[in-house]
Amino acid sequence: MPFVNIKITREGATAEQKQQLIEGATQLLVDVLGKNPATTFVIIDEVETDNWGIGGKNVTELRAAAKAGKK
């Protein structure tokens, strides 16, 4: 009974995109490990960019700095 947890930043992924992630992750486990799709669980957690950190900074700050650097 595989369990896949996908974490993405909350930035407007559509229901269709999330469905594609669920289908793709399930199919990957079927193809690679021969798992039963009926018992494969996929959870998508959407995390606010203020709560996702990289290199000591949150993603909100990093994106703002990148945007400012492009001007």
Q: How many domains does the chain have?
A: 1
Q: Which domain CATH number covers 25?
A: 3.30.429.10
Confidence of residue 69 (pLDDT cuts 50, 70, 90): confident
Confidence of residue 70 (pLDDT cuts 50, 70, 90): confident
User: What is the model's pLDDT at position 71?
Assistant: 54
User: What is the model's pLDDT at position 24?
Assistant: 99
Catalytic residue among 2, 9, 18, 28: 2
Report DSSP letters for 3-68, one per residue.
EEEEEEESS---HHHHHHHHHHHHHHHHHHH---GGG-EEEEEEE-GGG-EETTEEHHHHHHHHHH
Q: How far is residue 52's CA from residue 31's CA, in Å, rounded to a whole number?
A: 31
CB atoms within 10 A of CB 26: 19
- Its pTM stands at 0.85
Residue 64, domain extent: 3-70
- Interval 8-66: pLDDT, tens: 999 999 999 999 999 999 999 999 999 999 999 999 999 999 999 999 999 999 999 99
37 is catalytic: no
